[in-house]
Chain A
C-alpha cells in the first residue's frame, strides 16, 4: 500500500488497446476501479493471479505489463 517495487504499463496499454476505461478493466479482472487506480499510480503490488488476469484482459504478456524495479 506504500510505493511498490513493481512498475507497470497498465495505463499505456489501456490506451493502446482501444482506450479501455479503468472501470471496464476492473470489471474484466473482478476488482474495484479504485484498485486499478492504485495499481496505475504504483501504490499497490498485485498478487500473481491478479497480474495474470490484468495481462490477459489487456491482451499482453505479463512481462509487458509488469516490470521488477531492482532495488540498488
Chain B
C-alpha cells in the first residue's frame, strides 16, 4: 500500500470499509461455514480506523476546499441514513412476529446493524471535525441552508406519519392483524428516517447548487 499516494490509500480503505459493511449486513444469511458477519465487522472497524489515521496526513486539496464542511457532512448523512433506511426495508419481515423486539433475535440483529451504522456515522463525522479543527465550519449561510432543509424534512416527516395514520385508520381489522406492533413501530421510525434523509439530501443539494452556479 505504501507504493500508493495517501489519497489512493484512503479510497482503497473506504472501499474495504464498504465491503465490510456489505458482509456485516449479508454475512449471517449466507450458507457458508465462515462467520462472514463477524469478518465484515472486523474489516469495517479496521478500515475506518485506518482512514482516521490517514485522513490527518493528507494535505487539503483545492477541490476539497471548494466544498463546504456542511456539504461534506450532508453527503455523508445521505449515505448513512440511506443505508439505515435500506437495511430496515430489506429486513422489514423481521418485525412481523408479535414479539417485543427484545425477545425477537432477528429484529435484534437488525437493531444491532442499524446501531453499528449510526456509530460509524458519528465516528466519521468526528474525524472530519478534527480535520477542520481551528477553522470556521459553519456560518449564517449554513444556518440558512439548514433552515430550508429542515422545512423540507418536516414536510416529508409529517406526510410520512400522516400516511401511516391513514393506513392504520382506514384499514380493515382483518388486514390490520397482518401488522404486528413492532412492524407499525418500524413504519413510524421509517417515516422519521425519511424526513432525516430528505433533510440531509436537501442540504447537500442546496450546497451543490450554489457551488455549481459559482463555478
Provide the bound-state CA to CA distance between A6 and B144, in Å. 17
B137 is an interface residue with CB less than 8 A from chain A: yes
A65 to chain B, nearest CB (A): 17
Given that A26-B136, A38-B214, A40-B214 are contacting pairs, would A32 and B206 also be in contact in the complex, using a CB cutoff of 8 Å?
no
A5 to chain B, nearest CB (A): 16
Cβ A32 vs Cβ B138 within 8 A: yes
Taking CB as reference atom, which chain A residue is nearest B67? A34
B142 is an interface residue with CB less than 8 A from chain A: yes
Q: Which residues on the A side are within 8 Å of B213 (C-beta)?
A: 3, 41, 43
Q: Which residues on the A side are within 8 Å of B177 (C-beta)?
A: none
B59 to chain A, nearest CB (A): 15
Which chain A residues numbered 21 to 72 have a C-beta less than 8 Å away from chain B?
23, 26-27, 30-35, 37-38, 40-41, 43-44, 46-47, 50
B65 is an interface residue with CB less than 8 A from chain A: yes
Cβ A37 vs Cβ B214 within 8 A: yes
Q: Which residues on the A side are within 8 Å of B71 (C-beta)?
A: 34
Q: Scan B141-153; emit 1 where CB is below 8 A from any A CB, else 0.
A: 1101100100000
Q: Which residues on the B side are within 8 Å of A27 (C-beta)?
A: 136
User: Contact residues of A with B, CB < 8 Å?
Assistant: 1, 3, 23, 26-27, 30-35, 37-38, 40-41, 43-44, 46-47, 50
User: Contact residues of B with A, CB < 8 Å?
Assistant: 65-69, 71, 135-142, 144-145, 148, 206-207, 209-211, 213-214
